Amino acid sequence: MSSSFEDVFKDFTSALQKLEDGVNNAKTELEIDGVIQRFEFTFEIFWKLLKVICFDEGMECKSPRKCLKMGFQLGFIKDEKVALKMLEDRNKTSHVYDEETSRSIFTEIKSTHLNFFKDVLGEIQSFFY
């Protein structure tokens, strides 16, 4: 386990906690937009955490999609389809300007993505700690 892993793992757990706080408290349009932004940030740290884990395991991935697939191969990700849907949603949030799509993504974050992150966190913790 590299020191880089420890740093990125700490950043991920912190970002995930902030995302969960946002999901549990968002009521206004501005707060919902903030949750979407937190999701983007959490996803970015998440795939970079997978990148570090893969590197430490002797594998190399340079893109989010490749790191998600390797995370699935290593057993940290249990549902590859959900992981790839998250990537698709993260990509949409970078280019979405309509309220309907952003609210749909917020619903996915609340109903699926947050629990996915928490499940993977549990898998990583049980493997490394």
Domains in the chain: boundaries = 3-128
Kindly tell me the number of DSSP H helices and DSSP E strands found in the chain: 6, 0
Cβ burial 14-44 (10 Å sphere, 16+ → b, else e): ebbeebbebbeebeeeeebebbbebbbebbe
* Per-residue pLDDT, 6: 95
Give me the pLDDT at residue 2, please. 65
Counting as low any pLDDT under 50, the low residues of the chain are: none
Q: What is the CATH number of domain 3-128?
A: 1.20.120.330
Give SS3 for 122.
helix
